[in-house]
């Protein structure tokens, strides 16, 4: 079967969703577990798409990642705040 490619709009929506989820989940600046976040998106995106989206956040210096967690940088928190404002 032929694999569907995410549209630019879908990428933006997923990035905004992941950023705001991390921002909402961070407590006292502690990193957020990646597993539950991916589990919430399973069925909508596959693991390679998930890894690519997280890679965009890290490469864009919006987040830092370990094998199991992710945390927003100051720039990531600022963008998450903007995304949340647009969504309201």
**Does 1 have pLDDT greater than 60?**
no
CB 80 within 8 A of CB 20: yes
**Does 3 have pLDDT greater than 70?**
no
Tell me the per-residue pLDDT of 23-67, one tens digit each, with 9 for 90 and over: 999 877 789 999 999 999 998 999 999 999 999 999 999 999 999
Instruction: Look at 2-16, 38-52, 72-86 and tell me which has the smallest mean pLDDT.
Output: 2-16
Please report which confidence band the pLDDT of residue 2 belongs to, taking 50, 70 and 90 as the band edges.
low
Q: Which residue has the tokens 């921002």?
A: 23
**Does 87 have pLDDT greater than 90?**
no
CA–CA distance, 70 with 32 (Å, rounded to integer): 5
């Amino acid at each position: 079967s032929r694999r569907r490619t995410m549209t630019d709009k879908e990428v933006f929506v997923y990035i905004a969703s992941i950023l705001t989820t991390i921002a909402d989940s961070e407590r006292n600046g502690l990193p957020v577990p990646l597993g539950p976040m991916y589990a919430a998106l399973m069925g909508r995106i596959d693991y390679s798409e998930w890894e690519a989206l997280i890679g965009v956040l890290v490469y864009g210096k919006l987040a830092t990642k370990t094998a199991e967690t992710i945390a927003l940088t100051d720039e990531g928190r600022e963008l998450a705040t903007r995304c949340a404002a647009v969504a309201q």
